[in-house]
């Protein structure tokens, strides 16, 4: 028995064991109590995750995959402990789950070969839950993986890059071709790893920071003094050199500085 791939769930099953192992091994051995895998499908990554000391929890939306994981997934033959302390299968939509409820006061490393249609929402959810998520790794559509990892000065540097890198150090690890999936996707995939910064607290109001970044990139061709008009900035502030730049020219640190300036304006 195997699961039939469904398009609307973004199912592309990885068929190369070597690559599955490499992806599972992107998580560092930092002694996290919990690993959460999103979208395990038939468990190709899961079996490598289960070789670790941590407990592995998987969340899967597809009923058929859930049945496969509960009934067919060869946990015993693989000599992996089957107790609930070690492996738990949860049916449902990751985007609707409350992480704090699933892992009360615990740190959880997140991994997956993510469904591409919701991959950026998964990243934003991880960022929102950063107090509990010290590490986040997995496979994305290559372009999205690059965008998350990209630095300023590039066309694909954007909201996702800045908001992720404000809290995490991002590494682009390797590219995976369509041929190792069933069915093959139309595009290359990329594997990245995010490790939460030691000090990841923002020195500015988070909501304002998010708003500045999003507003600036919504009109990415314009200079900041024009794209940030809705903030009603004073004329003297708008003369600062940073306001003559475009958002893609600003590093994460400069976005933080910019937010500080805006917060002080008019006080
Ligand atoms: N990890 C497997 C499957 C990858 S395909 C492999 O590498 O072969 C992506 C998986 O995510 C599918 O199994 C799909 O059913 C699941 N999925 C899609 N949307 C989801 C959601 N919102 N929450 C949890 N799982 C989801």
- Kindly tell me the sign of the dihedral angle through the C-alpha atoms of 77, 80, 82, 87: negative
Place of tokens 């769930």: 9
- Whether domain 206-265 has CATH 1.10.8.100: the reply is yes
Q: Check pLDDT > 90 for residue 94.
A: yes
d(CA 162, CA 51): 34
Q: What is the maximum span of the chain, computed from C-alpha positions, in angstroms?
A: 70
- Whether domain 7-196 has CATH 3.30.2350.10: the reply is no
Place of tokens 């992720």: 164
Nearest to 12 by CA among 87, 143, 117: 117
pLDDT bin (cut points 50, 70, 90) of residue 83 is low
d(CA 84, CA 81): 9
Q: What pLDDT is attached to residue 77?
A: 62
Average pLDDT in the 31-44 region?
95
Best mutation site among 3, 5, 9 for ligand 1 pocket (most ligand atoms within 8 Å of CB): 9
Q: Work out the mean pLDDT of the chain and round it to a whole number.
A: 94
**Ligand 1 centroid from CA 92, angstroms:** 11
Beta carbons within 8 Å of 170's beta carbon, 6+ residues apart? 148, 149, 164, 192, 193, 194
d(CA 152, CA 134): 24
Kindly state if the Cβ of 59 falls inside 6 Å of ligand 1.
yes
Average pLDDT in the 101-126 region?
95
In the chain, % of residues over pLDDT 70: 96
Q: Which helix or strand (DSSP H or E) is residue 89 part of? A: strand 87-91
Domain range annotation of the chain: 7-196, 206-265
- Weakest-pLDDT range from 42-51, 65-74, 140-149, 169-178: 65-74
pTM to 2 decimals? 0.94
Q: Check pLDDT > 80 for residue 206.
A: yes
């Amino acid at each position: 028995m195997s699961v039939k791939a469904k398009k609307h769930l973004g199912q592309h099953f990885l068929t190369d064991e070597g690559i599955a192992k490499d992806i599972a091994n992107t998580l560092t051995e930092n002694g996290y109590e919990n690993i959460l895998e999103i979208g395990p499908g038939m468990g190709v990554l899961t079996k490598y995750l289960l070789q670790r000391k941590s407990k592995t929890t998987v969340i899967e939306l597809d009923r058929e995959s859930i049945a496969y994981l509960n009934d067919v997934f060869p946990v015993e033959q693989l000599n992996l402990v089957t107790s609930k302390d070690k492996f738990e299968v949860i049916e449902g939509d990751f985007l609707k789950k409350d992480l704090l409820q699933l892992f009360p006061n615990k740190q959880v490393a997140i991994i997956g070969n993510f469904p591409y249609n919701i991959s950026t929402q998964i990243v934003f959810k991880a960022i929102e839950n950063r107090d509990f998520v010290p590490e986040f790794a997995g496979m994305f559509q290559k372009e999205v993986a690059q965008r998350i990892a990209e630095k300023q000065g590039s066309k694909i540097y954007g909201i996702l890059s800045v908001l992720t890198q404000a809290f995490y150090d991002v590494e682009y690890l390797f590219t995976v071709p369509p041929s190792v999936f069933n069915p093959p996707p139309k595009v290359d995939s990329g594997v990245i790893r995010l490790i939460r910064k030691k000090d990841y607290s923002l020195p500015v109001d988070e909501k304002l920071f998010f708003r500045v970044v999003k507003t600036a990139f919504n009109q990415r061709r314009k200079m900041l003094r024009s794209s940030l008009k809705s903030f009603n900035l004073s004329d003297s502030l708008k003369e600062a050199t940073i306001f003559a730049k475009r958002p893609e020219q600003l590093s994460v640190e400069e976005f933080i500085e910019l937010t500080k300036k805006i917060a002080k304006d008019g006080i």
